[in-house]
Amino acid sequence: MKYLFIAHGESGEPAKLTLCSSRPEVLTTVQRTVFMAGSVLSADQVQEVEGYTEELFENGIVRFEGDPPLQLICVHDDIDEFTPDDYDMEVESAT
């Protein structure tokens, strides 16, 4: 299974699309989105990212008070390039 990770912008519209091939890639993408890429996280921050990732897999969306949501959509394994008509933007690869 592949996953389309959607980070929404302040306007509520998708701001960044990332295609992930595994749960660890989703976790890394969540970490890079919530915290600055390359940041060394504290144990509490690691737990926070793990919690957001778990919620994405369970509910498909994580909502934050005052901040745009994160969304996760499951897509088929045989999709190499996922560019849905709903989004007029490029899809990045998590790797």
Q: Which domain holds residue 86?
A: 2-93
| Domain total of the chain | 1
> Are 75 and 82 spatial neighbours (Cβ–Cβ below 8 Å)?
yes
Nearest one of 79, 20, 90 to 70, comparing CA atoms: 20
Show the low-confidence residues of the chain (pLDDT under 70). 76-91
pLDDT digits (tens, 9 = 90+) for 3-16: 999 999 888 888 88
The pLDDT, as a whole number, for residue 14 is: 85
pLDDT recorded at residue 37: 72
User: What pLDDT shows up at residue 79?
Assistant: 56
